[in-house]
Amino acid sequence: MATKIGMMDSAYFVGRSEILSWINSTLHLNLSKVEEACSGAVHCQLMDAAHPGMVPMHKVNFDAKSEYEMIQNFKVLQDVFNKLKITKHIEVSKLVKGRPLDNLEFMQWMKRYCDSVNGGVLQSYNALERRETSKGGKEASKKGNTSHSSAKGSTAASRPQVSQNARKNEASANSGNQSAHVSKPPSHGITAYDEQITTLKLSIDSLEKERDFYFAKLRDIEILCQSSEIENLPVVGAIRKILYAVDDDASVVAEAQVMLSAHQKETISHSSPISEVPSDEKLSLDTQKRKNIINLDVDVAGITTLSPRQRVTDASDVHCSGSPLMTY
């Protein structure tokens, strides 16, 4: 079962024309755009075609116009998913808005799932009969039949009729060809415009998705900064300054960096282990050091002026006193 399909699966590379052809041939409809199935009724009948009798078609509304009516159809579809234990998430809020990209992706998944059931073979499924029990189903069937009949009528009218006057037939054929040539350029131009509009809609949808993604990230950061544990930290204040900046100014980032550096300097000054010594104590310490240096110089000078006998006497005195520095 194709209940879980990755975004890089081949199912998401199926074109719009193939999707529309599959829907119209399976359900005998005449959809010209994938987003016309945004009401959810088409999805319900596709699931009914894959699993006959599983979908309560009398609850499906093919004439749904408002979002409330469309949501009711998707509720029916979700109930069917639950019965079949399908874990596919239905983004109803996006589908009911009729966005081409969202509806195309979900319909691509639907095709892949229906193809995976019984090999994609629908055994004697009567789409028109099943749709008649739904609200607005008869009107949808009439539209589909009208389109098919008009297509057949146009092909029949295009056949050349046998006439007694061959010249008139040739003249009418030539005039018909000329009118066809004249009418072709506008149709090609309209098709090109439709393709451009579809491309622009797809790009807008992708940009809106990217915008919503980054906005959600910024909102998460804002909520985190508002927590009571860290809201008073300097780094949180700097982040808020950047988040709440009105215009795109590079000075905002510089100001935030200044805030952090100022806090860092203040922290270092308070946490420094070296305490400053008062000036009076510094003077007394310097005086004591000078006295010690002077006394040491006097002692050295006295020792150098002693006689050898006096030096030996002093050494014997040190030895007698038990000093470990003297050895014999």
Burial label, 156 (beta-carbon count in 10 A; 0-12, 13-18, 19+): exposed
Helical H runs in the chain? 16-27, 41-50, 67-84, 92-95, 100-116, 127-131, 137-157, 166-225, 234-243, 250-271, 279-305, 308-320
Instruction: Please tell me which of 65-74, 113-122, 140-149, 207-216 the model is most confident about, judged by mean pLDDT.
Output: 65-74
The more confident residue out of 54 and 140 is: 54
Token pair of 12, please?
A: 């998401």
User: Is 2 in contact with 116 (CB distance < 8 Å)?
Assistant: yes
The more confident residue out of 14 and 11 is: 14
> Range with the lowest mean pLDDT among 49-53, 138-142, 253-257, 314-318?
314-318
At residue 28, φ and ψ (nearest 5 deg) are: 55, 50
pLDDT surpassing 60 at residue 35: yes
Task: Compute the average pLDDT of residues 242-249.
Answer: 75
The more confident residue out of 59 and 273 is: 59
Token pair of 290, please?
A: 């000078």
User: Is 293 in contact with 301 (CB distance < 8 Å)?
Assistant: no
Rounded Cα distance between 225 and 219, Å, is 10
pLDDT in the model for residue 328: 41
pLDDT surpassing 50 at residue 159: no
Rounded Cα distance between 73 and 76, Å, is 5
At residue 114, φ and ψ (nearest 5 deg) are: -65, -35
Q: Among residues of the chain, what percentage have pLDDT more than 90?
A: 29
Q: Which amino acid is at 252?
A: V
> Range with the lowest mean pLDDT among 22-26, 182-186, 236-240, 278-282?
182-186
pLDDT surpassing 70 at residue 32: yes
- Position 168 confidence tier, pLDDT thresholds 50, 70, 90: low
- For the chain, the structural domain boundaries read 10-143, 226-268
- Position 289 confidence tier, pLDDT thresholds 50, 70, 90: low
pLDDT in tens, 90-99: 999 999 999 9
pLDDT surpassing 80 at residue 72: yes
pLDDT in the model for residue 11: 72
pTM higher than 0.85: no
User: Is 34 in contact with 105 (CB distance < 8 Å)?
Assistant: no
